[in-house]
Structure 1
Amino acid sequence: MESVLKLVQRVDCTAAQENEDKDRIMDEIKEVCRLIACNESWFALENDENLIEACIYQRESLNSRYRYLLNQARLKGINASLACKG
């Protein structure tokens, strides 16, 4: 009986960890989408060519992070239907 309880607790802990992972990934995707939107606003307002270049590099970095997070979501079976412009 004791081993069954330990098994049930282990399964519950695993399920809780998976839910936390899913929540974390979704929160990160939302944050990256927010940062991409901020980057687009910055790019539209910037005049200095050096800062425009910095903005472009940041956009590429954010897009790479977004693709990575979408891949992680797909691997964990998360339906990440958020679409970032970028």
Structure 2
Amino acid sequence: MESVLKLVQHVDCTAVQENQDKDRIMDEIKEVCRLMACNESWFALESDENLIEACIYQRESLKSRYRYLLKQARLKGINAPLICKGQGG
């Protein structure tokens, strides 16, 4: 009986951990999308060519992070919709 209880506790802990991982990944995806929207606004308002270049590099970095997070979501079986406008994964 004790071994059954340990197994149930282990399964429960694993399920909790998986839910926390899913929540963390979804939160990160949402944060990257928020940062991408901020980057778009910054890009639209910027006039200095050096800062425009910085915007472009930041945007590419955020897009890479977004693709990485979508891949992690798929690997964990998370049905992550494409949250960011215009961003394919």
Q: Percent identity at matched positions? A: 88
The structure whose RCO (Cα within 8 Å, separation 6+) is larger is 1
Alignment of 1:6-25 (within 5 A): 6-25=6-25
TM-score normalised by structure 1 residue count = 0.97
Where does residue 44 of structure 2 map in the other structure? 44
Contact 2:22 2:78 in 1 (8 A): yes
Runs of 5+ unmatched residues, structure 1: none
> In the alignment, what sits opposite 2:56?
56
> Could you say what secondary structure the match of 1:56 adopts?
helix
TM-score by length of 2: 0.94
**Aligned counterparts of 1:64 and 1:58: Cα–Cα separation in 2:** 10
What is the CA deviation profile of residues 29-68 of structure 1, one whole-angstrom value per residue up to 9, with x for unaligned ones?
Answer: 0000000000000000000000000000000000000000
RMSD of aligned residue pairs (Cα, Å):
0.8
Q: Report how many residues are paired.
A: 86
Give, in whole Å, the separation in 2 of the partners of 1:47 and 1:78. 40
Structure 2: unaligned runs, 5 residues or longer: none
